[in-house]
Amino acid sequence: MIAPSSLPRLFAHAGSRPLSLEEHEVAFRRFGPLASVLDELEASGLVGRGGAGFPTTRKVQLLRSQRGHKYVVVNGMEGEPAAHKDNRLLSTNPHLVLEGATQLATMIGASRIAVCVARDNQTVVHHVEHAIHERAGEDSRGPHIDLHTPPWRYVAGEESALVHWLDDNESLPQYRPGRPHILRIGRGATLVDNAETCANVALIGRYGAQWFRSLGTPEHPGSVVVSVTGAVTRPNVLEVNLGTPIAAILAAAGADPNPQAVLLGGYGGAWLRGEDLATPYSNEALAAYQLSVGAGILAVLPREACGVVEANRVVRWMAHESARQCGPCAFGLPALADDLLDVVRGGREGIAAVARLKERCGVIEGRGACRHPDGVVRFVRSSIDVFSADIDNHLRGVPCAGARSRQRYLTVPALENEEELIWE
């Protein structure tokens, strides 16, 4: 069996139903034994696909040094409203994800694997439950796999909040002054990786580091799964070669070919201007714009949309989704949302609100119990910069046509009386 040398990789055998365990083993046959999966993982240069981009091997080495009982947690919560990639992976080949998690557990000496899928997503829950049942009789000596179904919320997918829920049934992020920081369930050290990262670990374990690095860039190797939303024919999930120009990804997804901006990394990310879409989709290329691939989200905003109205909707929802366990979340984020609403309404209050936004961002940044407030600050600052023309129009009392339109492009779960709130 020759390993697949081009795309798709993660979705190489995706169909209308999940692969069974037997189909998975046939589809992803090994083409040769590997001396050490850990060595191959280190040589692969794989970084986490959940957003932070932390080197996977560094996590593994940190957990290997810990004594006592250990856990692996598969984060399939998909807290970002604009993301669909983990759902797609777990719906097409959950065994690839479970295999990668098992390899990670073997590397760190973990006896249990906790797979977490939001209880609201019953279809994916069913697929994962069935896959775990299929694997139960395969190797009684391997780590035990459990399915957990926390309630869906944005912060529930943050890794420390997820571990907190597993440990104490509360989806609250834990204060972590520095990283790397070892998360624990009880006294057991815990490694958390998202579903896409686990799937890549499985492929590296089967085909090796050289195969993995045959795609991507030297600094950011491999492929990545991207959720494309916004001004597209329909929301899409694509597996792309890292280093592909963003314009080419949008074209493949059927997106607006000439947008005013594209949001990268989700609602804790930042905007890339439409003039810069020739930029390769890789961390080293995006660093020039202080951006990163992040959680693999591209949200496309067309030129007829109002970036200020879209930003207001997102920030108000993010404030609503906070854990409210510290001042920046409980008070700072709602204040940012109120200031953005004043900017949308324009006039003197809008002018004062722009100054307050900039001041509040400086006060909030770095002071939260988790990174949620920092992500909102990043999004707000980017919105002020990229949509400065829209802001000027609102402040002069001449909102752009997109502000009055009811067409919205960023996926935001319903906010009560949203339009009335903006124009009351």
Does the structure show a pLDDT above 90 at 51? no
* CATH number for the segment(s) 307-423: 1.20.1440.230
pLDDT of residue 424: 43
Does the structure show a pLDDT above 80 at 103? yes
Q: What is the mean pLDDT of the chain?
A: 89
**Residue 31 in tokens:** 């083409």
Does the structure show a pLDDT above 60 at 2? no
pLDDT of residue 176: 59
pLDDT of residue 69: 93
Instruction: Report which residue type is found at 372.
Output: H
- pLDDT tens digits along 201-237: 999 999 999 999 999 999 999 999 999 999 999 999 9
Helix (H, G, I), strand (E, B) or coil at 228: strand
2 versus 365: the higher-pLDDT residue is 365
Separation between Cα atoms, residue 253 and residue 344, nearest integer Å: 31
Domain ranges across the chain: 21-212, 223-301, 307-423
Backbone angles phi, psi at 259, to 5 degrees: -75, 160
Separation between Cα atoms, residue 227 and residue 236, nearest integer Å: 6
Q: Which residue in this structure is represented by tokens 């939260």?
A: 368
* CATH number for the segment(s) 21-212: 3.40.50.11540
- pLDDT tens digits along 146-200: 999 999 888 878 888 899 989 988 877 776 555 567 889 999 999 999 999 999 9
Residue 242 banded pLDDT, cuts 50, 70, 90: very high
Does the structure show a pLDDT above 60 at 423? no
Residue 43 banded pLDDT, cuts 50, 70, 90: very high
- pLDDT tens digits along 353-402: 999 999 999 999 988 877 889 999 999 999 999 999 999 999 988 777 67
List the end-to-end C-alpha distance of the chain, in Å, as a whole number.
Answer: 64
SS3 for 169-207, per residue? CCCCCCCCCCCCCCEEECCEEEEEEEHHHHHHHHHHHHH
235 versus 35: the higher-pLDDT residue is 235
pLDDT of residue 37: 86
Domain 223-301 has CATH 3.10.20.600: yes
Helix (H, G, I), strand (E, B) or coil at 109: coil
Measure CA 357 to chain center: 26
Does the structure show a pLDDT above 70 at 31? no
Taking residues 342-352, report their average pLDDT. 90
Separation between Cα atoms, residue 240 and residue 223, nearest integer Å: 5
Taking residues 336-352, report their average pLDDT. 92
Backbone angles phi, psi at 74, to 5 degrees: -95, 115
Does the structure show a pLDDT above 60 at 120? yes
**Residue 306 in tokens:** 């109002």
Order across the sheet with 297-301: list the strands. 236-241, 223-230, 297-301, 261-264, 270-273
pLDDT of residue 156: 79
Q: Check if the beta carbon of residue 145 is closer than 8 Å to that of residue 113.
A: yes
- Single out the residue of 301, 365, 383, 359 nearest to residue 328, CA to CA: 365
Residue 117 banded pLDDT, cuts 50, 70, 90: very high
Residue 34 banded pLDDT, cuts 50, 70, 90: low
- pLDDT tens digits along 281-293: 999 999 999 999 9
155 versus 47: the higher-pLDDT residue is 47
